[in-house]
Structure 1
C-alpha cells in the first residue's frame, strides 16, 4: 500500500476546498453569467502547458500572476466566499502571506502557502459556480480532468510543470503557483478543480461535507498508482466524485418517482 503523510496533508487541503465554498455571486456580477466561463477549467491546464513549452518566460509571468492574485483571492474567501466567512477575517490573508514569505523553506511557510492557495480556489469556485450554467461547468470540470490525464500519462505535462514550479518572482518573494509540504507537492489546478466542485455543490444546495470526504478517500485510492508511476493527475478525484454525485442524484430521483408511483 502506498502512503505518505506529507502527501496526505495536501490531499486533505484539496478535499477541504470542496467543503468550504458558499453559494452565489454579488448582484453586480450576475450580468456576466455566461457559458463560456466553463472553458476556463480545461483551458487553464492546456494553455499554461503550451505557453511554458513555447517559452519558459511564461512561467515567470505566471508566478507573478499567482503572487499578485492569490493573496487577494484568499482574503475574499475569508471575508466573503467561504462558509463562515466574516469581513474581519480578510486581513488574515496578509498574515499568511507574511508567514509564507518569511518562512518559505519551513513547515510554517508551506502551510501558509497552502492556506493562501486554498482560499483563492474557494473564491474561484464560488465565483465560477455562480457565473456559468452548472451543466456546462460540470462538463468543463470533467474535461479538465481528462486533459490533465492525457497530458500526464502522455509525459507532456511533467517538464513544463517542473519549470512552472521552479519559477520564482525574485527578491525572495514566495512562490504561490503551487503548494508543497516537505517532499509532496500539488499544483494550483488541482486545488482549483476541488474548489469548483465545491462551488457547484453549493450553488445547487447539495451537501458538501460528504463529497469532500469522498474526494479524500478517492484520492487515497487513486494514489495507489504511485506504486507504478511517478506522477498522477490530481484533478481526477474531484471529477470522479462529481460523476458519483450525479449518478447518486439520478438514483435517488428514480427512487422517489418509484415511491410516488407505488
Structure 2
C-alpha cells in the first residue's frame, strides 16, 4: 500500500461518506406521486442485484461491460443534474446546469486529477438521486436488509475471487472519443466501484427519510472505511460496501436503544 494509493483511496472513501450526507429528506411532490404507484418490497432486491447480477453478467459475457459503460455515460450526467437541482441538501434548479461543466472537464481532462475529480463527483451525485428514488419506492425495513445482503454478497464474491475479473473488465471498458468512464470512480492511484457509491446513496437517503442525523451516519461510514482499509496491508481488493452496512447496523442499534420501552398494561 503506497502513499499515493493511500491518499487517492482516502479521497474516494471521503466522497463515499459525503454521499451519505447529501440526500434530502423532504418529500418531492412529483416524486411522491410517482412513487405511490410503484411502491413494492421487490425494490429492496435492487442493491443485491446491482452487484450479484452485474458480476454474473460481465463474467458470462464481456460485451455486458460495454453496455454498462454506455448506460453509465448516458444516465449518470442527468442523474447528477437531478441531485444538484432537486434531490440533495441545498439543491437549486439552476445548480443542475453545473453537471455540464463537470462532464466537460471529465471529458477533456479525463487522465488528470481535475478530470478524474469531476467524473467522481458526477458519479457520486448520481448515486444521491438513485438513493432517493429507491427509498421512495421500497419499504425501509426491507431496503435495510437489502443493503446488508449486498455487502455480504460483495464480501463473498471477493473472497471467492469472482468479482475481481468482472471488475477488471468493467473498469477497462471505455466509450469512444475519449469520453469519460463513469461506470466507476477513479482518482489518482485508486478505483472504487459504482456499487460502493450506490449503497452509500441508498443508506444516506434512508437516514434522511427517517429524520436521522446524516452527518453522524457519514462519519460512521468514513470511520469504518478508514479502519477497514487497513486490510489493504494484506489484501489487494476490499468490499467497500461493508463499512456502509456496518454503519447501518450501528445506526439501527442506536435508534432502538433510544426508543422508549412499550408500556405493559397493568391490572387494577
Equivalent position to 1:257, from 253, 258, 261: 261
Unaligned runs of 5+ in 2: 264-268
Q: Are 2:66 and 1:60 aligned?
A: yes
User: In the alignment, what sits opposite 1:12?
Assistant: 14
Q: TM-score, normalised by structure 1?
A: 0.95
User: In the alignment, what sits opposite 2:119?
Assistant: 113
How do residues 66-105 of structure 1 correspond to structure 2 at under 5 angstroms? 66-105=72-111
Equivalent position to 2:199, from 172, 193, 203: 193
Unaligned runs of 5+ in 1: none
CA apart distance, 1:2: 8.6
Q: Tell me if structure 2 keeps the 8 A contact 1:2–1:226.
A: no
SS in 2 for 1:91: helix
How do residues 154-173 of structure 1 correspond to structure 2 at under 5 angstroms? 154-173=160-179
CA apart distance, 1:241: 0.3
Question: CA offsets per residue over residues 42-84 of structure 1, 9 Å max, x none?
Answer: 0011111111111100000000000000000000000000011
In the alignment, the residues of structure 2 paired with residue 202 and residue 10 of structure 1 have an alpha-carbon distance, to the nearest angstrom, of 22
CA apart distance, 1:27: 2.9
Question: CA offsets per residue over residues 178-209 of structure 1, 9 Å max, x none?
Answer: 01111111000000010000010011111100
Q: Tell me if structure 2 keeps the 8 A contact 1:34–1:132.
A: yes
In the alignment, the residues of structure 2 paired with residue 107 and residue 22 of structure 1 have an alpha-carbon distance, to the nearest angstrom, of 29
User: In the alignment, what sits opposite 2:266?
Assistant: none
Q: Are 2:30 and 1:28 aligned?
A: no
Aligned Cα root-mean-square deviation (Å): 1.8
Equivalent position to 1:183, from 178, 183, 189: 189
In the alignment, the residues of structure 2 paired with residue 139 and residue 96 of structure 1 have an alpha-carbon distance, to the nearest angstrom, of 34
SS in 1 for 2:219: helix
User: In the alignment, what sits opposite 1:133?
Assistant: 139
SS in 1 for 2:52: helix
In the alignment, the residues of structure 2 paired with residue 33 and residue 208 of structure 1 have an alpha-carbon distance, to the nearest angstrom, of 24
In the alignment, the residues of structure 2 paired with residue 54 and residue 217 of structure 1 have an alpha-carbon distance, to the nearest angstrom, of 36
In the alignment, the residues of structure 2 paired with residue 57 and residue 145 of structure 1 have an alpha-carbon distance, to the nearest angstrom, of 26
Q: Tell me if structure 1 keeps the 8 A contact 2:196–2:240.
A: yes
In the alignment, the residues of structure 2 paired with residue 104 and residue 79 of structure 1 have an alpha-carbon distance, to the nearest angstrom, of 24
In the alignment, the residues of structure 1 paired with residue 179 and residue 33 of structure 2 have an alpha-carbon distance, to the nearest angstrom, of 34
